[in-house]
Structure 1
């Protein structure tokens, strides 16, 4: 009987794969890696050596348009798909699990660390984060500013919540949105909506390469991020809401 296993790779490279994840991949008949929903910084050859198997890349069409074809193969084999971060953060993988279960295919998820837990390194409490937003490249939105991003940040602030802002990635072009580009979009949204949600003097956080030895968190005013230069990618922005006293001690001494 076949089985579909989604195995989290963790935040950065092949060293983040758990022992349980390694065992699951070793026991699979075929091993794939998702190259669509995120950019992985690891070495595929080293990962293949750890697992002892050839790893086949999966593109967007394999996970979305041709998912039924992939699952038909799972009916006869044990398939492991390696996924950056935690497997069920991306809705693409949740949809794949749902489709597999409808086909009566056994599924197994091996969890790992993700950006959603790692942002606690900033000093902010995870329990005080509201809805997450993704700041998209304007080319994705037909040249229009992403109002839903502004609305979500506004709602979070009204409730005292912090906002994690994921920055867009164009996988096929290997293009990462920079902190500077994201800050400009936020300021343009404020200039358009004029509701004092994002002020130039507000202090916010940027982080990059979380989970690696090169990770960093930096606190600056929004206006300063408009001029911020960094080659460290991928990055995120964090917009603080109402701060707990212990968060204030760490971030705004």
Structure 2
């Protein structure tokens, strides 16, 4: 487990438009930090900085105290594993072969590895319920099954932190709940972007609310997911209540109407 930090980060698109502006945000070691916000809020732009798919225009991105801009791809991958929002299917590879690619930071070849690596692959397949279909081609799977394959690859990587961009897309309700519970059980530091506010409230220690590339609020789910903030950021009305025994938030949405 390692802490993650965005230190006064700004990200610009190629045309100069600001995708994220002056964001400072940290996740403590072992914490699950959720990113929520409407489309275009900057969630994916910030998460990409942790796995080398983007670079900040200014500011620093740190993992375990290491400035990621100073690390090689292999060094970075030993610290942080990522599951991007859209991962194209590797048409000619089986489920197991894709999960084995997660061992790349630890061995010289693309696939395989030592006994420890093979055990990590087996454990990841089992955890994501993929052991029974390990020999199937990934291209033959449903969207939800492919998502689970890419998450298993990230787990097999043995990272100190996980970055997940909309990991429950294409998953049915049971697999959404099982996946989020499994992520929490890992004990790793996790940054996760989610559209489902209830799911974020249930499984995240803290939630960062983003809007138009800026950090609006960050704190406990019950502190930041208020009706007034949901209205201001998402443009919808909301009724928020905490249900016993755990005080989990339930959120009912409706169109925002003028007073």
Q: One fold, TM greater than 0.5?
A: no
Question: Larger RCO: Structure 1 or Structure 2 (Cα < 8 Å, ≥ 6 residues apart)?
Answer: 2
TM-score (ref. length: structure 2): 0.26
TM-score (ref. length: structure 1): 0.26
Q: Which has the higher strand share?
A: 2
Q: Pick the structure with greater CA Rg.
A: 1
